[in-house]
C-alpha cells in the first residue's frame, strides 16, 4: 500500500467522515462530497493501491452508498419514466461490461460500471432527499461553492505569470489538475448555477421591496440591510461568472466555446432579455473576426475549417484525431456478428472520446437506442417543465443538459462523477415528484 501521510491521512479521514455522515445527514454528506470533489481531484497522481486513487475510491463509495440507500429505504424508483429507462440502460450496461466484454480486467469492469451507476444514484438522491420549493438556493449553492476552489487554482496559475499548461499547440492551462477539462467543467457549472441564483435573488429582492414599501423607519433600516446583502451576493456571483468565462476561454475547448455561446443565447432569449440576447451573436462575431480572439479561434478550429470548407488533407487532425478513430472503430463494429452489434462488442473496440459511439460499441444498437431515448425524454420533460412556469432553475437544468449533450460528442461525461452529479442531480431535483405536485 502506498502511503504518503499528507495525502493519505486527510483523504482517508474525509472518507470515513463522509460515510458516517451519510447515514445520519445524507443531504449534507452529498453536498460536502460535491463541494470537496475538485479538491480530491488534486490527488490524481497518488495511487493508494495498484492504479486505484482517491478519485475512484470516493466516486465508487458514493455509488455503493446510493444503492444501499435505495435498498434500505425501499425507494419507489419506478414512479418516473426517466428512472425506468435509466434502469434498462443500467441492465444493458451490466450485461455488456460483465458478461459480453470478456477480455477486460475485473477491476476495470467494476470501475466502468460504477461510473455509469453514479448518474442513476445521484438522480435518485436529488429527487428524494431535496424538496424542490424549499431547497432551490441550497442546491444551487452546492454547485456554486464547488466551483470556488477550481477558480482559485486557475487564478493562481494566471497571476503567477508562468502557468502550468498542456503539452500541445493550444497551451491550455491545466495545473494543478491532470487535464484542462476540469477548469472548463467547473467554470460552466458555476456560470449556469450563478445565473439561476441571480435570477432567484433578484426576484426575492423585488418581492421584498414591494412588501416593505410602506414599513416604518426601523423596518426600513432592516430593509436596507437586506438589500445590501442582496447586492453583495449579486456582485460575488457576477464576479464568478466573469472569471468562469475567462476559464472557459483559456481551455480552448471547441465544445466548451460553442456550448458557452449557445447556453448564454438560450438563457437570455428564454428569459426574454432582448438586449442581452442581441449581444451574444455580436460577442460571437467579435470572437471570430477580431484579434486577439480571432487568432485563438483559428488555432483551435483551423484543422476543421481547412478540412470541411477547403477540402484540405487534414483529416488526421480533425477533432484532434477523433474523426479517424470514429471511422476506424465503426469499420470494426460493422464487422461484428449481429448479436454483438445489438448488445455490444466482446471487447472494447477503442477509445473514440465520443460517448454516443462508446455506448454503441459497448452496449450495441439496443443500448444506444435506450440511451438516446433517455436523453430525449429528459430534454422533453425539462422543456415541458420550463414552459409550465418559466422557473430559472429549470432553465439552468436545460443549459446543463445542452452542455452535457455537446460534451458527449468529444468526451465521456458519463464517466466523470462530477459531471454525472451536476447533470443527473439537477435533472432528479427538477423532475422529482415534489416538483410535479407543486407545478399542478
d(CA 148, CA 193): 12
**Strand-pair partners of 165:** 173
Task: Choose among 30, 9, 8, 6: nearest CA to 19.
Answer: 30
CB 342 within 8 A of CB 92: no
32: nearest Cα among 145, 131, 125, 152: 145
Distances (CA, A) of 391 to 71, 385, 397: 33, 8, 10
Per-position pLDDT tens, the chain of length 440: 667 888 889 999 999 999 999 989 999 999 999 999 999 999 988 888 888 899 999 999 999 999 998 888 887 787 788 999 999 999 999 988 888 876 778 888 899 899 999 999 999 999 999 999 899 999 999 999 999 999 999 999 999 888 888 877 778 888 888 888 999 999 999 999 999 999 998 766 655 555 555 454 445 445 555 556 668 888 999 999 999 999 999 999 888 999 999 999 999 999 999 999 999 999 999 999 999 999 999 888 988 888 888 888 878 888 888 898 899 889 988 988 888 899 887 666 678 889 999 999 989 999 999 999 999 999 999 999 999 989 999 999 999 999 999 999 989 998 899 999 999 999 999 988 544 444 43
pLDDT score, position 437: 47
Q: Where are the domains of the chain?
A: 1-74, 78-439
Continuous segment of H or E residues that includes residue 372: helix 355-389
Q: What is the pTM of this model?
A: 0.91
Give the whole-angstrom CA distance, residue 29 versus residue 254. 35
CA atoms of 313 and 306, how far apart (whole Å): 8
Measured distance CA(104)–CA(97) in Å, rounded: 8
CB contact set of 163 (below 8 Å; sequence gap of 6+): 157, 173, 175
Q: Apex CA 372: angle with CA 426 and CA 392, to 5°?
A: 25
From the list 179, 112, 190, 209, the residue with the least C-alpha distance to 152 is 190
> 396, 319, 395, 332: which is closest to 360 by C-alpha?
332
- C-alpha cell at position 326: 470514429
Q: Are 237 and 147 in contact (CB under 8 A)?
A: no
Residues in the chain, overall count: 440
87, 239, 268 from 280: Cα distances, Å = 39, 19, 9
**CB-based burial, 291-307: b 16+ in 10 Å, e otherwise:** eeeeebbeebbebbebb
Grid coordinates given for 17: 467522515
User: Which pLDDT score is estimated for 440?
Assistant: 37
**Number of Cβ atoms within 10 Å of the Cβ of 14:** 17
Separation of alpha carbons 352 and 361, rounded Å? 10
Cβ-contact 373, 345 below 8 angstroms: no
Amino acid at each position: 500500500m502506498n502511503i504518503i501521510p499528507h495525502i493519505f491521512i486527510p483523504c482517508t479521514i474525509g472518507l470515513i467522515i463522509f460515510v458516517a455522515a451519510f447515514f445520519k445527514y445524507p443531504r449534507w454528506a452529498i453536498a460536502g462530497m460535491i463541494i470537496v470533489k475538485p479538491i480530491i481531484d488534486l490527488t490524481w497522481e497518488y495511487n493508494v493501491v495498484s492504479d486505484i486513487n482517491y478519485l475512484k475510491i470516493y466516486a465508487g463509495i458514493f455509488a455503493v452508498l446510493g444503492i444501499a440507500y435505495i435498498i434500505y429505504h425501499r425507494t419507489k424508483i419506478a414512479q418516473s419514466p426517466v428512472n425506468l429507462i435509466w434502469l434498462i440502460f443500467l441492465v444493458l450496461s451490466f450485461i455488456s461490461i460483465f458478461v459480453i466484454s470478456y477480455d477486460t480486467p475485473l477491476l476495470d469492469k467494476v470501475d466502468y460500471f460504477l461510473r455509469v451507476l453514479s448518474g442513476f444514484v445521484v438522480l435518485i438522491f436529488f429527487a428524494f432527499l431535496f424538496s424542490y420549493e424549499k431547497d432551490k438556493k441550497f442546491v444551487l449553492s452546492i454547485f456554486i461553492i464547488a466551483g470556488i476552489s477550481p477558480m482559485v487554482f486557475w487564478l493562481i496559475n494566471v497571476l503567477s505569470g508562468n502557468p502550468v499548461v498542456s503539452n500541445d499547440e493550444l497551451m491550455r492551462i491545466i495545473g494543478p489538475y491532470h487535464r484542462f477539462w476540469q477548469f472548463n467543467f467547473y467554470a460552466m457549472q458555476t456560470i449556469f448555477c450563478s445565473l439561476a441564483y441571480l435570477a432567484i435573488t433578484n426576484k426575492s429582492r423585488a418581492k421584498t421591496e414591494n412588501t416593505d414599501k410602506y414599513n416604518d423607519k426601523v423596518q426600513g433600516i432592516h430593509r436596507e440591510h437586506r438589500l445590501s446583502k442582496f447586492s453583495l451576493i449579486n456582485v460575488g456571483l457576477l464576479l464568478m461568472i466573469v472569471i468562469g468565462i475567462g476559464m472557459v476561454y483559456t481551455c480552448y475547448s471547441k465544445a466548451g466555446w460553442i456550448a458557452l455561446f449557445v447556453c448564454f443565447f438560450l438563457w437570455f432569449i428564454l428569459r426574454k432579455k432582448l438586449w442581452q440576447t442581441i449581444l451574444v451573436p455580436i460577442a460571437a462575431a467579435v470572437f471570430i473576426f477580431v484579434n486577439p480572439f480571432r487568432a485563438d479561434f483559428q488555432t483551435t478550429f483551423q484543422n476543421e475549417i481547412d478540412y470541411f470548407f477547403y477540402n484540405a488533407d487534414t483529416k488526421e487532425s480533425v477533432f484532434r484525431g477523433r474523426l479517424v478513430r470514429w471511422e476506424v472503430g465503426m469499420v470494426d463494429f460493422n464487422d461484428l456478428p449481429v448479436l454483438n452489434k445489438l448488445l455490444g462488442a466482446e471487447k472494447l473496440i477503442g477509445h473514440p472520446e465520443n460517448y454516443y459511439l462508446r455506448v454503441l460499441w459497448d452496449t450495441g444498437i439496443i443500448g444506444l437506442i435506450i440511451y438516446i431515448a433517455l436523453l430525449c425524454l429528459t430534454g422533453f420533460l425539462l422543456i415541458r417543465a420550463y414552459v409550465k412556469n418559466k422557473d430559472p432553475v429549470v432553465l439552468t437544468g436545460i443549459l446543463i443538459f445542452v452542455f452535457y449533450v455537446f460534451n458527449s460528442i468529444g468526451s465521456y461525461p458519463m464517466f466523470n462523477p462530477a459531471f454525472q452529479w451536476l447533470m443527473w442531480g439537477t435533472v432528479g431535483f427538477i423532475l422529482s415528484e415534489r416538483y410535479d405536485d407543486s407545478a399542478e
